[in-house]
Amino acid sequence: MIIDGKALSNQLDISMKAEVKALREEGIEPKLVVIIVGNDPASQIYVRNKHRKAIKLGITSIIERRPADFTQAELLALIDQYNRDDTVHGILVQLPLPKQIDKSVIIRAIALEKDVDGFSPENVGKLFSNSHEHYPVSCTPKGIMTMLAHYKIDPAGQHAVIVGDSNIVGRPMGALLLNAGATVTYTHILTQDLSSFTRTADILIVATGVAHLIKADDIKPGATVIDVGMDRDENGKLVGDVDYDQAKEVAGAITPVPGGVGPMTITSLMQQTLELTKVANH
């Protein structure tokens, strides 16, 4: 089975569009601010895609572009301006940031009620303590949970193996799966004999940035394989961290690249923008 993130994203757009329309009829204008500093090529594409999706749904999207030599003090001032702007519901600072800027300082500067990425220590703490409150979570793991639910893949009691320990994907992904009742194993760059872990996964999440790291032999027959990679192969073609052509013969369900996780990440961002808009206006 192919897990079609693009189709699910398009399906969810229909209800989100209706929701935005209803909010606007109440005089509420959902508004997202995306700040991008520097010229990272992948970030440029991500930000453009976020903007397009927001426009498609009727969400107001402001993109603030700043040069690579923008200072931390200048960025803090820009964030402060939007923290104090009551018409803004979500603030996202695109990562990575240039080296003169400390990302943890920046993440903590975003007002908690506008932390649409869920990266603040408070929101991460709620995730890892399985809080019953409503809180935003990192968009990629959230989108993956939405896909699993849609395809009726229940993590409860399953062995989930995470490959890659990033703050944006691997770590929050493991927490969400744990909260959903999975037995979770984290693997990362220092893990020895990676395959001995991945082969025991009922649900395998791969987020390393290494093209075609995972081969058919690394996958348990029938497993669900979620590929977060957006890599380039030797010919410059966009590929995932999983060797899709061989993996699809072994996996029970698998996400393609492109058209799997990517569209769902953006969908999650839009859902969380609407969520923060509603919380601000209730």
Q: Give binding residues for NADP(+) as ranges.
A: 164-166, 189
Q: Is 273 in the site for ligand GUN (CB under 6 A)?
A: no
- Which part of the chain contacts ligand GUN (CB under 6 A), choosing from 87-95, 208-216, 256-264, 274-282? 87-95
Q: Is 264 in the site for ligand GUN (CB under 6 A)?
A: no
Q: Is 40 designated active site?
A: no
Tokens, residue 243: 């060797």
Q: Is 94 designated active site?
A: yes
Q: Is 93 in the site for ligand GUN (CB under 6 A)?
A: yes
Whose Cβ is closer to ligand GUN: residue 92's or residue 257's?
Answer: 92
Rg (CA), the chain: 19
> Nearest to residue 62, comparing CAs of 20, 30, 33, 92?
33
Q: Is 94 in the site for ligand GUN (CB under 6 A)?
A: yes
Q: Is 247 in the site for ligand GUN (CB under 6 A)?
A: no
Whose Cβ is closer to ligand GUN: residue 43's or residue 195's?
Answer: 43
Q: Is 4 designated active site?
A: no
Query: How many residues contact ligand GUN, by CB under 6 A?
Result: 8
> 177 to 196, contacts with ligand GUN by CB under 6 A?
none
Q: Is 95 in the site for ligand GUN (CB under 6 A)?
A: yes
Residues in binding site: 164-166, 189
Q: Is 101 in the site for ligand GUN (CB under 6 A)?
A: no
Cα 1 from chain centroid (whole Å): 22
Instruction: Single out the catalytic residue among 50, 53, 126, 220.
Output: 50
Instruction: Single out the catalytic residue among 4, 115, 117, 202.
Output: 117
Whose Cβ is closer to ligand GUN: residue 108's or residue 248's?
Answer: 108
Whose Cβ is closer to ligand GUN: residue 12's or residue 95's?
Answer: 95
Q: Is 160 in the site for ligand GUN (CB under 6 A)?
A: no
> Nearest to residue 28, comparing CAs of 80, 89, 79, 83?
89
Among 79, 168, 214, 219, binds ligand GUN (CB under 6 A): 168
Alpha helices, DSSP H, located in the chain: 5-25, 41-57, 72-83, 103-109, 121-128, 139-150, 170-179, 194-198, 244-247, 261-281
Q: Is 261 in the site for ligand GUN (CB under 6 A)?
A: no
Whole-angstrom distance, CA of residue 111 vs CA of residue 93: 12
Among 20, 23, 79, 92, binds ligand GUN (CB under 6 A): 92
User: Shortest Cβ distance from residue 166 to ligand GUN (Å)?
Assistant: 9
Instruction: Single out the catalytic residue among 31, 94, 202, 272.
Output: 94
Number of neighbouring beta carbons within 10 Å of residue 95: 18
Q: Do 203 and 182 contact (CB within 8 A), yes or no?
A: yes
Whole-angstrom distance, CA of residue 244 vs CA of residue 227: 9
Whole-angstrom distance, CA of residue 132 vs CA of residue 126: 8
SS3 label, residue 64: strand
Number of neighbouring beta carbons within 10 Å of residue 45: 12
Edge-to-edge strand ranges of the sheet holding 203-206: 183-187, 159-163, 203-206, 224-227, 253-254
* Residues annotated as catalytic (active site), given as ranges: 50, 94, 117
The site for ligand GUN (CB under 6 A) is made up of 92-95, 117, 139-140, 168
